[in-house]
């Protein structure tokens, strides 16, 4: 199989996670059904991210965004440059960049 070198923008749209509030300072954002992925989750994940420590509530989702399966997560703070592919829909904060086609 032949491989080809590509830049991230050739793989898809490159952007940044979104959170209007600092999640650890706003308890009402937690505890719902929506996976909330943080940099530590990406670091532990390996190729596919299936496990996460926290979830967002409806209020958390309203100030964030739910990214689809197959989104590539790249950490840009704390655990810098760790990567994993979402195996489930999830939200993530500004400390993660993402690539999605």
pLDDT (tens digit, 9 = 90+) per residue, 26-61?
889 899 999 999 899 999 999 999 999 999 999 999
For residue 70, being part of any structural domain is answered with yes
Going by the DSSP 8-state scheme, the letter that residue 55 receives in this structure is: E
User: Residue 57 belongs to a domain with what CATH number?
Assistant: 3.90.220.20
CB atoms within 10 A of CB 40: 14
Tokens of 56: 């967002």
For residue 29, being part of any structural domain is answered with yes
Helix/strand/coil for 60 = helix
For residue 55, being part of any structural domain is answered with yes
**pTM (2 decimals)?**
0.80
Tokens of 53: 């420590």
Containing structural domain, residue 42: 13-100
Q: How many domains does the chain have?
A: 1
β-strand partners of 84: 73
For residue 73, being part of any structural domain is answered with yes
Q: What is the mean pLDDT of residues 69-75?
A: 89
For residue 4, being part of any structural domain is answered with no
For residue 5, being part of any structural domain is answered with no
């Amino acid at each position: 199989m032949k491989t080809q070198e590509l830049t991230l923008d050739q793989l898809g749209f490159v952007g940044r996670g979104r959170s209007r509030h600092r999640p650890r300072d706003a308890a009402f954002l937690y505890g719902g059904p929506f996976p909330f992925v943080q940099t530590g989750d990406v670091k532990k994940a390996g190729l596919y991210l299936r496990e996460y420590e926290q979830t967002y509530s409806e209020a958390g989702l309203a100030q964030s965004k739910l990214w689809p399966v197959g989104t590539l997560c790249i950490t840009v703070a704390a655990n810098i440059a760790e990567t994993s592919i979402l195996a489930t829909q999830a939200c993530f904060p500004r400390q993660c960049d993402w690539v999605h086609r």
